[in-house]
A and B are shown apart, each in its own frame.
Chain A
C-alpha cells in the first residue's frame, strides 16, 4: 500500500468487471527493495510447497507484471527463465515461448495476481503444448474463483497471501477504514453469489 500497489476506489478489471480495489504489481519494480523482498517470499513458497514433490526445470513469468518477479526468482534459485509472449513477434523467429526450453520440462508459472484464473489457464495451455505445468505461484489471490478454476484444469495455486487477509490486516493496522473494509468484503461476497448463479 505504501508503494500504491493496492488502491481502493472504483476500478474496471481486465475481465470487464468492476472492483472496489485494484492490485497492480507492475509497480513493485519501481521500488527495488520491494521487488527483491517479493522475490525472497516467492522463493520461500516454491521451496516449501512445490520443490519437495516436484522438480522445477524452468520458471515461466507471465508478462507484464509476472515477468520481472519471475526473473528475480529465476536468478535467486538459479533456475532458467522462460515466458510466453502475449502477441507473437512480427519479425525474427515468430515463436511464442521465449527462452531455452526442452520438451516435457516441468515448468512453474509465476504471476502477480489471480482473479478467476482464466488468463492463467490460457497461459498454461500454451505452455502445455510443449512442457508440463502443474503449479502456479502468485502474490495475491483475489478469491474470485481462481483456485477452483485452476483445480479443474489440473493446476495447483500457491498464493503468498489472500485478499481477505490483506484487507483484514490493513483494517487492523488502521491503513484503511472499516467502511472501505466492508465495501471490499461486500463486493467479495456479491461476486461469490454471482458465480453461484452463473454456474
Chain B
C-alpha cells in the first residue's frame, strides 16, 4: 500500500491544518480508490484491522473517505454512516435513529493530518448517542492526529504512516 501511494497518490502541493501546521506534499487517495486493485488493497487492509475491534457501524468523516467506507460496509456487513464537515448528510433522518441498531461506531478516514475532520465527525456521532473509541485511517501524515484524538478518548489506528512512504521519509530527514 505504501508503495502504491508513493506511485499513484503522492503529489507536490500542501496539506494545511486549521492549526497552521502543514506538509509540503499532498496525498490524494481518490487516485487509489479509483482503481479496482487499489480499492481492493485498501479494503482488505481495513477489513483486517476491523476484525480486531468490535463495532456495530462505521462512519466516514468526509467525501474523500466515502468510497472506502461504502465498500468496507458491504464487505464487513456493517452499516455505514456519512458525516461531512461535522454534519450528517441525511435530509430527513435523525442520526439517533440510525444508531438504534447498534451504537458502537468506528470512524474510517482516508488521510489524517491533525485529526480535526475525524474529531468533528466523532463529536457529532457522540452527541447522537454513539460510542466511538477507534478511528482507522489509511494514511496518517503524523501531524498531530494521534495526539489530538487520544486527548478525546479515541485510539487512532493508521494502516500506513508518513514514515513508511519512502520519499516522504527522505524529505523528513
**Assuming the A-B contacts A72-B70, A75-B39, are A64 and B14 also in contact, with contact meaning beta carbons closer than 8 angstroms in the complex?**
no
B112 within 8 A of A: no
0/1 interface trace, chain B 30-43, chain A, CB 8 Å (1 if under)? 11011110011001
Q: Tell me, in angstroms, the Cα distance from A63 to B74 when the chains sit together.
A: 18
Chain B interface size band reads 35 or more
Whether the pair B67, A81 counts as a contact (CB closer than 8 A) is yes
Q: Which of A58-86 contact B (CB under 8 A)?
A: 61, 63-64, 67-69, 71-72, 74-75, 78-83, 85-86
**Interface of chain A, main secondary structure:** mixed
B55 within 8 A of A: no
Chain A interface size band reads 35 or more
Q: Separation in Å of the B153 CB from the closest CB of chain A?
A: 24
Q: Tell me, in angstroms, the Cα distance from A72 to B67 when the chains sit together.
A: 8
Query: Which residue from B8, B73, B97 sits with its C-beta under 8 Å from A29?
Result: B73
Q: Tell me, in angstroms, the Cα distance from A101 to B11 when the chains sit together.
A: 16
Q: Tell me, in angstroms, the Cα distance from A85 to B79 when the chains sit together.
A: 24
Whether the pair A32, B79 counts as a contact (CB closer than 8 A) is yes
Q: Which of B35-70 contact A (CB under 8 A)?
A: 35-36, 39-40, 43, 57, 63-64, 66-67, 69-70
A residues neighboring B (CB under 8 Å): 4, 7, 11, 22, 24, 26-27, 29-33, 35-36, 39, 61, 63-64, 67-69, 71-72, 74-75, 78-83, 85-86, 91-93, 98-101
Sample of 13 A–B contacts (CB below 8 Å)? A22-B92, A27-B98, A29-B69, A30-B79, A30-B98, A35-B74, A64-B66, A75-B36, A79-B36, A80-B36, A85-B63, A92-B28, A93-B28
Known: A92-B26, A100-B8. 15 other contacts (CB 8 A): A11-B91, A24-B93, A26-B82, A27-B93, A32-B74, A64-B82, A67-B66, A68-B67, A68-B69, A71-B71, A74-B39, A80-B36, A82-B30, A91-B14, A92-B14
